[in-house]
Structure 1
Amino acid sequence: MPDTNEPQRLADAKACMIETRVWIDDTFGPFDAKVDPTNRWNGWLSPFFTLDTVRELSARTQEMADEFGHDAIDTVHAIDGGADREGEPRAVVVHIRWSHLGSESESSTSIIQPNDEGLYGIGCWEWTWHFARWQCACGLVMYWHVTDCRNCDLTRDTQPDKTDTAHKAPTAKKPTVPDTDQPQLLADAEDPLIDAWVHIDTLGPYEAKIDRTKRWKGLVRPRFALDTVRKIAARTQEQADKNNYESVETIHVIDGGTDREGNPRAVVLHVRWVYVEDEEEAQYATLVMQPDDEGLYSIGGEEWNWYEAAPDTDNRT
């Protein structure tokens, strides 16, 4: 199922869009966007952004999360995947609601798919976006996309003095729907597990827990601690940079500070870059990996060719 909580019509670029700027409570933004003024949630706008603007917005949300705490701020992340066959930048965009991670972990993370124009709907039908405004020297205030002052001969771009609006903090967000298609059986930790070392040819070996009685095509289905997931993530990204993103799947760990018990908090993503640009498969290209009851993550559990390493394996990671 789709890894985004926005209604399907938000991904339809055939709607009547206008170019404008949007912000949240005059404090977060303004950001350049495309908006269908008729597509609203409780009166609020549902803006779409270019990837470059998403990066700008992303950096600001992460900066605010560091300043105000991840429990108070949703963060947006743009994970780069090199360039596509046309040389255009390729990326996966993620929206994380840290306040729901754990107690409502299935609704905490959304993968934002681009629409037909390559624009991303951030906070659509969820955040309190509204049109940014500009004030003419004559005193009249207008929406950003209204370029000519209706009270004098000046335009937005011919003002004698520009207003510099600073970026600050967004308002509270709403919870969303589940957005991971990871098999539920991988999130169950009721079966007895043993400590082991696993590897895939040149990937690994890594410390893991496995159930030798449960295999996928004869291969083991390991679960890893978060620290080990970080090592796997670094190695997969290193391989993708060296080889080709279309031939290497990558793992990513997005940190979110610590929870109320002081434990590290993170979201783990599995990106299959070969599917990112496929119109039919793009919605399944990125998995949000949920930890099991022991806090372990199944990485490539029923996809990758994990083998149990011999006890005397050298160069253990």
Structure 2
Amino acid sequence: MSLTRPSIRSRVSLEDWLEPFDCYISPTDEWLRPRFDLEGARELSSQTVRMAEEDGFDSMTTVHVIDGRADSADTVHLIEGGPDRYSESDEPMVVALRIRWTGVGQDPVHAVSVSHATPKDIKAARKRKVSGRGPRRAVVVQIEWQWLFRDGDAASAVDVCPPRPDGLYRVGDGHWPWTYVEWTCACGSVWNWHEDQCGTCDLTRDRQPEHQSTT
């Protein structure tokens, strides 16, 4: 009989940088390493890209979700990170992701190759589109632009986040300063989001007095 406890739903934030995200956590994990479904990964992508566009990519990490089909031909995808603010060049940093969709389901990490975009990549990205009618696939990557601008090594700056056995994606992999979203009970006790019943007065998070905010 398996002694593994199932994941539980919670809510986390990334300090004061990003808005809260619904996620799943393991009760036995001593570190806060949230896992996200594809919807959560897309929201992470939206918020991180928006913040990078506002504050500059050269100090940010962004998340990206690329959709495809299991029987699609290989495709090339370009992700642009803007120019380096500390360089005289106005040319944007562009990363090329070459995805072998027939291998994504078995080994997503090795089905994606990464490099700086070349003219050949740009041409391929324009010509090759995701095709096929097979099962849907998704590739989730995070790009450490600050390392890319500093060291110039695209392969080491891009991490593919493979789905775990439960189908969820771990982003940040223990390096991001995730914190639990807290809620405050009417009695004044403070609890992490997944602790949905107050241990002091037994009120639940969703059955607070109407004037009491839980966010």
Aligned to 1:54: 41
Contact 1:26 1:132 in 2 (8 A): no
- Partner SS state of residue 96, structure 1: strand
User: Quick one: distance in 1 between partners of 2:167 and 2:133?
Assistant: 14
Residues 89 and 21 of structure 1: CA distance in aligned 2, closer, same or farther (over 3 Å): farther
Q: CA deviation at 1:37?
A: 4.1
Aligned AA (2:11) = R
Residues 83 and 21 of structure 1: CA distance in aligned 2, closer, same or farther (over 3 Å): farther
Unaligned runs of 5+ in 1: 1-13, 165-317
Aligned to 1:137: 186
User: Quick one: distance in 2 between partners of 1:99 and 1:152?
Assistant: 47
1:32 and 2:22 matched: yes
Aligned AA (1:152) = C
Deviations 1:293-317 (A, max 9, x none): xxxxxxxxxxxxxxxxxxxxxxxxx
Aligned to 1:278: none
Aligned AA (1:22) = V
User: Quick one: distance in 2 between partners of 1:88 and 1:136?
Assistant: 45
Bigger radius of gyration among the two: 1
Structure 1 segment 264-303 matched on structure 2, within 5 A: none
RMSD: 2.6
User: Quick one: distance in 2 between partners of 1:71 and 1:146?
Assistant: 37
- Partner SS state of residue 149, structure 1: coil
Contact 1:48 1:121 in 2 (8 A): yes
TM-score, scaled relative to structure 2 = 0.60
User: Quick one: distance in 1 between partners of 2:22 and 2:34?
Assistant: 9
User: Quick one: distance in 2 between partners of 1:109 and 1:149?
Assistant: 41
Contact 1:79 1:93 in 2 (8 A): yes
Q: CA deviation at 1:28?
A: 2.5
Aligned to 2:66: 79
User: Quick one: distance in 2 between partners of 1:72 and 1:80?
Assistant: 26
Contact 1:93 1:112 in 2 (8 A): yes
TM-score, scaled relative to structure 1 = 0.42
Unaligned runs of 5+ in 2: 72-131
* Aligned counterpart in structure 1 of residue 10 of structure 2, from 20, 44, 50: 20
Percentage identity across paired residues of the two chains:
45
Q: Which stretch of structure 1 is more off in the superposition, 110-119 or 83-92?
A: 83-92
Q: CA deviation at 1:83?
A: 7.8
Which structure is higher in helix share? Answer: 2
Residues 26 and 138 of structure 1: CA distance in aligned 2, closer, same or farther (over 3 Å): farther
Structure 1 segment 206-217 matched on structure 2, within 5 A: none
Aligned to 1:97: 144
Residues 88 and 19 of structure 1: CA distance in aligned 2, closer, same or farther (over 3 Å): farther
Contact 1:21 1:32 in 2 (8 A): yes
User: Quick one: distance in 1 between partners of 2:133 and 2:206?
Assistant: 35
Residues 146 and 70 of structure 1: CA distance in aligned 2, closer, same or farther (over 3 Å): same
Q: How many residues align?
A: 148
